[in-house]
Amino acid sequence: MTEQQPVTILGAGLAGSLMAILLARRSIPVRILERRTDPRKHQLSAGRSINLALADRGIHALKIAGVYDAILPLLTPMPGRMLHDVNGQTQFAAYGQQAHEVIYSVSRPGLNEMLLNHAEQLPNVELHFEQACTAIDFVTRHLHIAGRDELHEHTEPFTQLIAADGAQSIVRRTLHDACNAQITDELLPHGYKELTLPSNHGQHQLQRNALHIWPRGGFMLIGLPNLDGSFTLTLFLAFNSSEPDQPSFASLQDAASIEYFFKQHFADVLQLMPGLAEQFLSHPVGKMVTVRSSTWTNGRNAVLIGDAAHAMVPFHGQGMNCAFEDCIELDALLQQHEFGIACERYQQQRLPNANAIADMALENYIEMRDTVRDPKFALQKQLSFELERRLPDRFIPRYSMVMFHYEIPYAVAYERGRIQTQILNELTAGVMHIDQIDLHQAVELVMNRLAPIASRHAHASSG
* Interface contacts to ligand FAD, rule CB under 6 A: 10-16, 33-36, 52-53, 132-133, 164-166, 170, 192, 234, 286, 306-308, 314, 317-321, 323
Q: Which is nearer to ligand FAD, 39 or 299 (CB)?
A: 39
Q: Which is nearer to ligand FAD, 51 or 428 (CB)?
A: 51
The answer to whether the CB of 194 falls within 8 A of the CB of 200 is no
* DSSP track, 161-222: EEE---TT-HHHHHHHHHHT--EEEEE-SEEEEEEEE--BTTB-SS-SSSEEEEE-SS-EEE
Minimum Å distance from CB 204 to ligand FAD? 18
Minimum Å distance from CB 134 to ligand FAD? 7
- Which residue of this chain has its Cβ atom nearest to ligand FAD in the complex? 13
CA-CA distance, 275 to 296, in Å (whole number)? 45
Minimum Å distance from CB 277 to ligand FAD? 21
Minimum Å distance from CB 420 to ligand FAD? 23
CA-CA distance, 387 to 186, in Å (whole number)? 36
Minimum Å distance from CB 192 to ligand FAD? 5
Torsion angle defined by CA atoms of residues 132, 136, 140 and 144, in that order, rounded to the nearest 10 degrees: -30
CA-CA distance, 386 to 97, in Å (whole number)? 10
Q: Which is nearer to ligand FAD, 113 or 259 (CB)?
A: 113
CA 224 to chain centre: 14
Distances, alpha carbon 247 to alpha carbons 165, 188, 223, 436, 457, in Å: 34, 16, 20, 40, 44
Closest by CA position to 56, among listed 447, 337, 407:
407
CB atoms within 10 A of CB 426: 11
Q: Which is nearer to ligand FAD, 367 or 393 (CB)?
A: 367
Minimum Å distance from CB 361 to ligand FAD? 9
In the chain the first and final C-alpha atoms are separated, in Å, by 62
Q: Which is nearer to ligand FAD, 15 or 102 (CB)?
A: 15
Report residue 177: phi and psi, to 5°.
-70, -40
Q: Which is nearer to ligand FAD, 304 or 453 (CB)?
A: 304
Q: Which is nearer to ligand FAD, 162 or 453 (CB)?
A: 162
Q: Which is nearer to ligand FAD, 273 or 403 (CB)?
A: 403
Minimum Å distance from CB 287 to ligand FAD? 9
CA-CA distance, 172 to 47, in Å (whole number)? 28
The answer to whether the CB of 273 falls within 8 A of the CB of 215 is no
